[in-house]
Structure 1
Amino acid sequence: RGTPAKRRGEILWAISDLVLAHADELARIEVLDNGMPIAMARGLLDGVVEGFRYFAGACTRLHGRTADMGEDLEYHAFAVSEPVGVAGLVVPWNGPLASLGNKLAPALAAGCSVVVKPAEQTSLSTLRLAELVLEAGVPPGVVNVVTGTGPAAGAALVHHDDVDKISFTGSLEVGRGIVAASAGNLKRVTLELGGKSPVFVFDDADLDAAVPVVGAGIFANSGQVCFAGSRVYAQPGIVDDLVAGLVEHAKGLRVGNGLDAGTQIGPLISERQRARVLDYVASGLAEGGEVVTGGVASGGVGYFVEPTIFTGTRADMRIVREEIFGPVLTVMPFGGLDELPGIGNAGPYGLGAGLFTRDLGVAHRAVRLLDAGNVWVNCYGRRDRSLPFGGFKQSGWGRENGPEGLDAYLEKKSVYLHL
């Protein structure tokens, strides 16, 4: 916190340069830990570089403001921003470096010291990035990494009275536990939790353009994405064509080792996660759904599940209501714009939503009807560091990225001087 803002910005930029210089190495580590395709890992690192450079520029924009108290200049009043203190950064396994970058860059820009707790399944890339952070000039002791399980290391961090803030990305259940545990010293808490994001395809949509985007929205990273577009709704006249296109797309995806440059779908993170996904598939079948492609574990070594598409599903089914965190998509019909609030806003989540239509009037009206922190129109999953990312309802508290992401690591202090 005592480092001048200009110097903090220089250090963050140096981190970005080192991440870029070591991007191939970091991407390989990420694949070995997580299993995601190497091309995806490398692309996410470009976002990490962008994030550090965005917040490097923010270091010198931590401005306060003054107030005119209207008392014959007897008082000078102003507000300043100061670092919140020690921030605990709890990082998930599905995109370790991308998530860590979203937290670490603004925390350092604000002047905080941090303790990072990576997921026990994917600690290696965090440890390597911590080495690069030191090399970039961050003072020793400012960035600390504590490995271990959530119930041990994570819980200790959340309960610790000397930790002033927790930023957590993960499941809704764990997020609720963090809120309860942070009550001891009333920590500041930012939560980026789950989602069950709807995607609406209107009958005027360009299906040739929509199909690969909708497919990527659920099958990227094997569906292990918080804002995955896991429930798709299409108007009746195009449902069959959309399903046929998605089935062809899913069957054409290459499933394999993430280190193979041609792989498009990697393994799930663990045997436990594969069992969870297959349990949801079984549940969908038992409740009357029909699998039109996939639905089984792939053969060979690794925790693979084939890209899966369900039809004949209903709103009350588990696979429609609950976050699966796997490559499982449900496709259902919807009537039109007036149905969006009832369908799109059902359930506890509000992280993302997608729309495909050529009618900008419909798009604008639809955006206003959806309770989601991120809405994509004729695209899906795009993000920019200057815009806030987070969710409505139980998809989280607060926002990452943009000015809001920096504010999450700042306290506001008002000062009144009697002259």
Structure 2
Amino acid sequence: MTKQTENSPTVGTEKDYPKIGLFLNGEWIYDRESYADVINPSNERKLARVPKASDADLQCALKAAEKGFVIWRDTPPQQRVAIIQKAVKLARERIDAIATILSLENGKPFDHARAEIDRSMNFFEWEMGQALRAYGMIVPGAPQMQKFIIRQPIGPVFAVTPWNVPMSSAARKTSAALAAGCSVVLKPAEETPGTACELVRCFEEAGLPPGVLNLVLGDPAHISSTLIASPVIRMVTFTGSVHVGKHLTQLAAREMKPVLMELGGHAPVLVGADVNATEVGRISALAKTRAAGQICASPSRFIVHRNSYADFVSSFAETLNELRVGDGLERGVEMGPVANVRRLAAAQALVDDARNRGATVAAGGQRLGEQGYFFAPTLLTDVPLDADVMTIEPFSPVAACVAAESLDKAISIANSLPVGLAAYAFTNSLEEAEQIGRRLECGVLSINHFDTPDADTPFGGVKETGIGREGGPTSLDAYLVTKTILQSTVKV
């Protein structure tokens, strides 16, 4: 049975959670009506109230971003980098305190929260370098004609981030936007605003000019429709579900505004016939339960060659049953709760549907305890391909496993969905690896491991998983526009 911790020593308390406010034009605002409560998913207790931005607040955010953009755009890149460096230094000095906040509002184990913050600072450090390499070009021309191609910041950016990686996603977007010279209106998820507030506070104390980075909270639909419709906002970036991403893209399209969308996935894992299936099963279980399966790159559909199937399933289930589940601030916890009661219900519905269609529950399959949103790490085996868990992104610690007779069949199953973000494969055959790399429909493929891209490599998907890439050598492209200047030297 899965181990659930009880009364273990903790690394922080709910008293460490900050007051939540709006941040507009360099000032914190707390005295607004309440929109929602921040709930600790480990015990269902209220951590803080989320203020609701009024229409006047949203107009203030727009005016601030407009003025801030002019200031930041004309700030030399070296000076921009110096301010970003100060903010990163502050965040790294406060990493334990911010990790405690992240764990309280999101539920993930403290060590995992700390790792997320540390990795997120890599994004800023990468984009600082990119800011100094946003080169233009000189094109050969006729005598007395100079042709310049320069790259300039696109303008104020509206950035919307999710609750599952509250620091990572906010860092992805603000790092590139600020490095490029854009101002930002950031709207974090109302479930996890504390982490974003701490990131903004680091920039405030680092000396970022007022209006360059603003934070709003409240009714997501109203905020999005208001800000996207404004001519001030020049670009929209979002990480979240396919459904919401399509809606925001439609709003932006009406105003002819570009978008950067990183949407849902349902990552397949192909396991070959020639691998150590017991070891692959063990590390698959650990990868599946990272962040309780609530990340867009989480491995979800395990498509295993028939020859490896039995050993893989046995090892996977055994590892899940040994995991320690509990409050993320308790020492020794390996998996925390799911984020909210909706995810708890969704996980149970996936299990029940698969069981009703003939799948076997090899591990877990139910809620743990009566307080907190804990769901047992779950493995479903012999899952029919039409089961909901094979077609709907689980976003929970629920894994589905099916057997495949051949690589062709495995790839066919993997490519059968309209999304394609991350994918994983385990094989000792170079021929199979080449085929998988060429034929699998995804934006990121990891072979023989479960790591995902860091700041120096692009992250994003294909098909309905979104538009554009974050990170890597093209990381600033979405935040820059290209201008061609044709300058005659003939006196007029």
Q: Normalised by the size of structure 1, how large is the TM-score?
A: 0.97
Percent identical among aligned pairs is 34
Provide Cα deviations, 1:43-67, integer angstroms capped at 9, x if missing partner. 1111111111111111111110111
Alpha-carbon contact 1:340-1:370 (below 8 Å) kept: no
Q: CA deviation at 1:42?
A: 0.4
Query: What letter corresponds to residue 365 of structure 1 in structure 2?
Result: Q
CA–CA distance in 2 between the matches of 1:314 and 1:413?
A: 53
Query: What letter corresponds to residue 138 of structure 2 in structure 1?
Result: T
CA–CA distance in 1 between the matches of 2:266 and 2:247?
A: 20
CA–CA distance in 2 between the matches of 1:410 and 1:364?
A: 35
What's 1:84 paired with? 154
Any idea what SS the aligned residue of 2:324 has? coil
Q: What is the total number of aligned residue pairs between the two structures?
A: 417
CA–CA distance in 2 between the matches of 1:376 and 1:67?
A: 39
Are 1:66 and 2:144 counterparts? no
Query: What letter corresponds to residue 9 of structure 1 in structure 2?
Result: V
Are 1:276 and 2:357 counterparts? no
What's 1:287 paired with? 357
Are 1:205 and 2:275 counterparts? yes
Query: What letter corresponds to residue 324 of structure 1 in structure 2?
Result: P
CA–CA distance in 2 between the matches of 1:35 and 1:267?
A: 6
Q: CA deviation at 1:307?
A: 0.6
Q: CA deviation at 1:208?
A: 4.2
Q: Normalised by the size of structure 2, how large is the TM-score?
A: 0.83
What's 1:177 paired with? 247
Q: Which range is displaced more, 299-308 or 190-199?
A: 299-308
What's 1:12 paired with? 84
Any idea what SS the aligned residue of 1:96 has? coil
What's 2:223 paired with? 153
Are 1:234 and 2:274 counterparts? no
Any idea what SS the aligned residue of 2:425 has? strand
CA–CA distance in 1 between the matches of 2:231 and 2:356?
A: 48
Provide Cα deviations, 1:191-241, integer angstroms capped at 9, x if missing partner. 000001100111111234322331133211111010111000111111011
Unmatched segments (≥5 aa) in structure 1: none
Any idea what SS the aligned residue of 1:250 has? helix
Query: What letter corresponds to residue 197 of structure 1 in structure 2?
Result: A
Query: What letter corresponds to residue 256 of structure 2 in structure 1?
Result: L
What's 1:263 paired with? 333
Are 1:113 and 2:183 counterparts? yes
Provide Cα deviations, 1:262-311, integer angstroms capped at 9, x if missing partner. 11111111112211211111111122211111110001410111011111
Which of 215, 222, 233 aligns to 1:163? It is 233
What's 1:126 paired with? 196
Unmatched segments (≥5 aa) in structure 2: 1-72
CA–CA distance in 2 between the matches of 1:340 and 1:372?
A: 14
Alignment of 1:354-365 (within 5 A): 354-365=424-435
Q: CA deviation at 1:134?
A: 1.2
Q: Which range is displaced more, 94-103 or 179-188?
A: 179-188
Superposition CA RMSD, Å: 1.3
What's 1:46 paired with? 118
CA–CA distance in 2 between the matches of 1:259 and 1:2?
A: 44
Alpha-carbon contact 1:288-1:313 (below 8 Å) kept: yes
Are 1:190 and 2:242 counterparts? no
Query: What letter corresponds to residue 62 of structure 1 in structure 2?
Result: A
Query: What letter corresponds to residue 6 of structure 1 in structure 2?
Result: Q
Provide Cα deviations, 1:301-334, integer angstroms capped at 9, x if missing partner. 1011101111121222211011121111111111
Alpha-carbon contact 1:206-1:358 (below 8 Å) kept: no
- Runs of 4+ aligned structure 1 residues displaced above 4 Å come to none
Are 1:27 and 2:99 counterparts? yes
